[in-house]
Structure 1
Amino acid sequence: MIKKIVLLFTILILASCSSGKPAIATTKKAAAVQKPRVAATKKPAYSKPTAKNYPSSNNTTEVIQSTSKTVVTSDLIHNYVLQYKDIAIGNMQKYGIPASIILAQGILESGAGKGDLAVTANNHFGIKCHKDWLGESVRHDDDSAQECFRKYPEAAESYRDHALFLVGKNRYATLFTYEKDDYKSWAKGLRAAGYATDPNYPDKLISYIERYNLHQYDCQVTGKNYTPISKTTTSPTKSTTPVKSSNSNSNDPNLYEVQKGDTLYSISKKFNILVDELKQKNNLTDNALSIGQKLKVN
């Protein structure tokens, strides 16, 4: 009897163990099925590509020749105007200098902010040291080699000093008798007062004002209606025609008559050639020049 009970108990235990095995196997299989879903959550999210900025099809290139030779684009000049127009308007309101003239001079003298003096000294108007300058300075080739130019901590200081320079010098007093928005008279008056030696200086300023509609900022100050200039104006900075003296009797465009104050260096800058090349063309053995002397420049 006891043997039968033990045998029955043993059979029940064995049956119990065998019935548990499928449940364990099923659990492992279910766990394996879950793995792909976990991996799917690690897939990186899709990011939409951003559009690229491409140059404008009307982005033309030109060379600005002032205290340094700078290659610029029309887009670069537009950006320069947008960056400094508010300062120019403020200076017009405070000092009476046309904003259009301020911006045009800034474009020309600084190469739209990319010229050597603008980059190294924040000097946007080519103002030299002169005797009354007590600030920092840099040396740069211009009418003569290694001339002293003013250096500023930031471009805004150059704009302010430009205004004070015109207001504080007696030779520019005539400028302030013109209408505030008469940019053509101001452009010619600056050259007549000796701001620049380039005889084409007024035409260059006027060209920038009319090509880039800088006169609109004068009108913002005066309250006058502004009418955009529709005519196409060719940049005088692209001209390769030599500048002739007004009192020269020569009809040869390849000759230049030496004027008072001219040096070989200033003439070489004016016609964009090297001093050594100028000397070689004219068989010069030294740097001596005489007024009225005719030089080959092409």
Structure 2
Amino acid sequence: MFKKILLILTILSLIGCKATKPVIVTTKKAPVKPKSEVVRTIKKTNTSSTNATNPILSNPVKKEQSNRETEVIVSTSKTVVTNDVVVAYVSQFKDIAMGNMRNYGIPASIILAQGILESGAGRGDLAINANNHFGIKCHEGWTGESVKHDDDAAQECFRKYNNPSESFKDHALFLTGRSRYSKLFGFSKGDYKAWAKGLRVAGYATDPRYPDKLISYIERYQLHQYDIQVLDVNYVSNEQQMVKELTIESKNPISQGLVSYVVQKGDTLYSISKKFDLKIEDLKQKNNLSDNTLSIGQRLVVK
């Protein structure tokens, strides 16, 4: 009897040991799971917070930098302009450029890009004093007015026009009337890259980077959109109205009285303002200057 009781107790003891093992395993696993969940939750919270704040902080900064960005355009004169000046130039002359594209087959994007580059977005010496927006020299056979300007050589002869619209028209006639540019008109009107490279090959400019500069302006200021508009069958030109407005503007004594000055070594805004009896702020406003920085050779409108 005693042996039976001892055997039963032994069996019960073994069963009790086996029953406690799962409890031990469960206890070990329980803390591990919450720890991993907490870590993941923290990481997700940080990541989403960062992603949410970045656009709010970055967009205004980029916009502000874009509006204040300046560049030096070097063509027939060295001109410092801001993005706003270039945008205003495009807005002013896009209709004439599109009209010339329709009438002469030259892409509007190319016309505008050349105008920006050659005239310093309308702020260069030739544009101000001669309404010459494309740096076209007198060449043989020119019987119109002219001005002297230092370019590849000293005091070269450049064409002078009564208003900018005459310059834009003469640019079209210049390209269509010379055999060396005839290959350009074999390119698609929508292929501004081919036109940019073709102008350099034909000898319009000696700068090997001329095509890249034109393409850069076209793409940065989305000038190709005007080619697309003209190529649309529903395009209606607004050229005549723009020519009329520019002609009236050219007869305004104020616009005819513009005078420019080339910055010399040692010049400051203060010394130039005194020389031409101007306030510094007025001088900065006339030339769209955001600070007092000047560079030798820079051309400023002073009257």
**Partner letter of residue 70 of structure 1?**
T
| Selected match of 1:131 from 123, 127, 140 | 140
Q: Which position in structure 1 is the counterpart of 2:207?
A: 198
Give the alignment of 1:118-267 within 5 angstroms: 118-223=127-232
| Selected match of 1:112 from 110, 116, 121 | 121
| Selected match of 1:79 from 88, 96, 100 | 88
C-alpha distance in structure 2 between counterparts of 1:171 and 1:155, whole Å: 25
The Cα of 1:223 is off from its aligned counterpart by: 2.1
Q: Which has the higher helix share?
A: 2
C-alpha distance in structure 1 between counterparts of 2:123 and 2:157, whole Å: 19
Deviations 1:68-127 (A, max 9, x none): 000000000000000000000000000000000000000000000000000000000000
**Partner letter of residue 125 of structure 1?**
F
C-alpha distance in structure 2 between counterparts of 1:151 and 1:208, whole Å: 25
**Partner letter of residue 79 of structure 1?**
A
Q: Which position in structure 2 is the counterpart of 1:243?
A: none
| Selected match of 1:63 from 51, 60, 72 | 72
SS in 1 for 2:81: strand
The percentage of aligned residue pairs carrying the same residue is 72
**Partner letter of residue 96 of structure 2?**
I
Moved beyond 3 Å, runs of 4+:
none
SS in 2 for 1:138: strand
C-alpha distance in structure 1 between counterparts of 2:199 and 2:232, whole Å: 25
Deviations 1:139-164 (A, max 9, x none): 00000000000000000000000000
The Cα of 1:181 is off from its aligned counterpart by: 1.2
C-alpha distance in structure 2 between counterparts of 1:191 and 1:61, whole Å: 26
C-alpha distance in structure 1 between counterparts of 2:225 and 2:182, whole Å: 25
Q: Which position in structure 1 is the counterpart of 2:288?
A: none
Deviations 1:151-192 (A, max 9, x none): 000000000000000000000000000001110000000000
C-alpha distance in structure 1 between counterparts of 2:121 and 2:101, whole Å: 20
Higher relative contact order (CA 8 A, sep 6+): 2
Instruction: Count residues with an aligned counterpart.
Output: 172
Q: Which position in structure 2 is the counterpart of 1:240?
A: none
SS in 2 for 1:131: coil
SS in 2 for 1:93: helix
C-alpha distance in structure 1 between counterparts of 2:101 and 2:79, whole Å: 27
SS in 2 for 1:82: helix
The Cα of 1:130 is off from its aligned counterpart by: 0.3
For structure 1, the 5+ residue unaligned runs are: 1-55, 225-271, 275-298
Q: What RMSD over aligned residues (CA atoms) do the two structures have, in Å?
A: 1.7
C-alpha distance in structure 2 between counterparts of 1:68 and 1:88, whole Å: 22
C-alpha distance in structure 2 between counterparts of 1:215 and 1:134, whole Å: 35
C-alpha distance in structure 2 between counterparts of 1:202 and 1:100, whole Å: 13
The Cα of 1:273 is off from its aligned counterpart by: 10
Q: Which has the larger radius of gyration?
A: 1
**Partner letter of residue 89 of structure 1?**
M
C-alpha distance in structure 1 between counterparts of 2:193 and 2:135, whole Å: 21
The Cα of 1:132 is off from its aligned counterpart by: 1.4
C-alpha distance in structure 2 between counterparts of 1:132 and 1:94, whole Å: 24
C-alpha distance in structure 2 between counterparts of 1:100 and 1:181, whole Å: 9
